[in-house]
Amino acid sequence: MTTPEQNDFLTQTGPGTPMGALFRRYWIPALLSAELPEPDCPPVRVKLMSERLIAFRDSKGRVGLMDEFCAHRGVSLWFGRNEENGLRCAYHGWKYDVTGQCTEVPSEPIASGFCGKIKLKSYPCIELGDVVWTYMGPAALKPALPAFEWVKVPGANRFVTKRIEECNYLQAMEGGIDSAHVSFLHRHELRNEPLHTGKGAELTRETDARFELVETPGGMVIGVRRPAQPGHTYWRITQWIMPFHSMIPPYGENALNGHAWVPVDDESCIVWCFTHHPTRALTTRELDVMRNGGGIHVQLIPGRFRPVVNKDNDYMIDRAAQRAQRTYSGVAGIAMQDAAIQESMGPLQDRSKENLVSTDNGVIMARIRLRKAALAGQAGGAPDGLDPATHAVRSASIVLPEDISFVEAAADALKAREGVAHASV
C-alpha cells in the first residue's frame, strides 16, 4: 500500500519538494516551437511544476523562459510588448531580455545602474524536435541534451502535439505504462482505429497477459506476453525512461508512439504525444488521422490545449455504443479513453485505497525508482536517465518462441538505430 505520506512525496513537484527537485534535474518539454512562431511574436504563458512563467522569442529568434511577473509591481508580462530583443512591461516600461535580466527602467537614469540590479528568475531553453525544452535545475548540474530518437529524425518523419490532462502527472503516467488495460479499455478500437490495427492488435485483445519487467540504466522495460501461434508468444515491450517518458509498442506498419507526462501543478499535467517513423516520412493519411484526433492525439478546443472531449461534457460518452460493443467504455478515441479513466480518479488519486496485483508491477517499479532517485538527489547523488545513451531506445512488438527471454531475444529491437526500421507485428 502507498501511504498518504508516500503519495504526497511522489505527486508533489512544486519548488522545494523532493520530486520537484528531481524533475528539475532533467530537460523538460515546455512548449511547442510553433507556439512562438516568429521573432517578436506575442509571449506565451507557461506553467511548469507550479511555477508561473512567460516564454517569448526575441528579435534574434532566441527563446526566453522566465518568471511571469514584472519585478516592479508584479504585473503579468503576458501583457508585455515583445520588441527590440526584449519583453517590455506594459505598465511602466521595464524591459527584460531572454535571460530575465532587466535592461531598461525608463524612470531611472541610466547612470544609476539600477536596472542592472534587477533580474527575474529564468531558465535556459533549447529547441529540439519541434519542441522548446527547458532546464530548471542547478546551473552547474545541467545535463547533456535530450537524445530521444523522435527529436533526431527529419521533421517529415515526426508529428508532435500536447494536451492538458486534469489530474496529477503520476496517475496519467501510470496509465501509460499499464499494458493490461489495453485488452479491455481499447479492445474494440484495436479493430477499427486506423493507427492501431494489424496482426498484433488482434493478439493484444487476448486478456491472458503475463508481465515481466527489467530495470535499465535509464528506467525499465515492461514485457507483456500473450498467446500467439502454437509454441510462440506475442510480446509487447514498453519503455519507461526517467522521469516521465514512455514509449508505446507499435502495431503492424504503423509508426512509433510515445509520451511525456509533465506536471503543470499537482492537479494537472501536460501530456506530450510523439509519433515518429525511423525510416520514412509520415504519410498524408497518417497525418490526416492524427490532425483529426486519431491515434494517440486528440482534437483540441481552438486556441487552447484542452480537448474538445472533456469532463465538462462527460467525455461525450455514448452508452448505446458501449452496449453495442462498438467501444468498451462508451468514450470515443484511444487517447480520450485513457484521459477519461485517469481523470475519473480525481485530480490527485488516493493510493492508500488501492489493491495492486501482478499486472501492476511496472507501476510499482516506477514509483520505487522515482522515490529512490528523489532520495538520492537529496543526498547529493545524480539521478538515472541523464545520460543521452539511455534515451536511444525503442518500444517493440514481436513474436518469439516460448520460454525465451524477451530481453535477450529483443535486445537489438529495443535499440534506436539510424536507418533501421522498428520491430513490429
**Domain limits of the chain?**
27-141, 149-409
- According to CATH, the topology of domain 27-141 is Rieske Iron-sulfur Protein (2.102.10)
| Cα-based distances in Å from 273 to 36, 198, 270, 296, 308 | 19, 21, 10, 7, 16
CA angle 155, 261, 194 (to 5 degrees): 55
Give CA–CA dist 418/279, Å, rounded: 8
Same fold, 27-141 and 149-409: no
Low-confidence ranges of the chain (pLDDT < 70): none
Unique residue bearing C-alpha cell 545513451: 389
- Report yes or no: 10 and 366 within 8 Å, Cβ to Cβ: no
Give CA–CA dist 229/232, Å, rounded: 5
**pLDDT given at position 93:** 98
Bin 315: left if φ > 0, else alpha if -120 < ψ < 50, else beta. left
Give CA–CA dist 374/229, Å, rounded: 44
**pLDDT given at position 204:** 84
Unique residue bearing C-alpha cell 504526497: 8
Tell me the DSSP string of 124-160: -EEEETTEEEEE-S-GGG--PPP--HHHHS-GGGEEE
Q: Which residues contact 291 (CB under 8 A, 6 or more apart)?
A: 297
Q: pTM for this structure?
A: 0.95
Residue 111, judged by CB atoms within 10 A of its CB (0-12, 13-18, 19+), counts as exposed
Q: Which of these, 161, 126, 131, lies nearest to 142 by C-alpha position?
A: 126
Give CA–CA dist 225/359, Å, rounded: 11
**pLDDT given at position 67:** 98
Q: Which of these, 21, 56, 268, 16, lies nearest to 136 by C-alpha position?
A: 21
Give CA–CA dist 218/379, Å, rounded: 19
Task: Give kind and range of the element (H or E) at residue 320.
Answer: helix 319-323
Residue 72, judged by CB atoms within 10 A of its CB (0-12, 13-18, 19+), counts as middle
- Homologous superfamily (CATH) of 149-409 is Naphthalene 1,2-dioxygenase Alpha Subunit; Chain A, domain 1 (3.90.380.10)
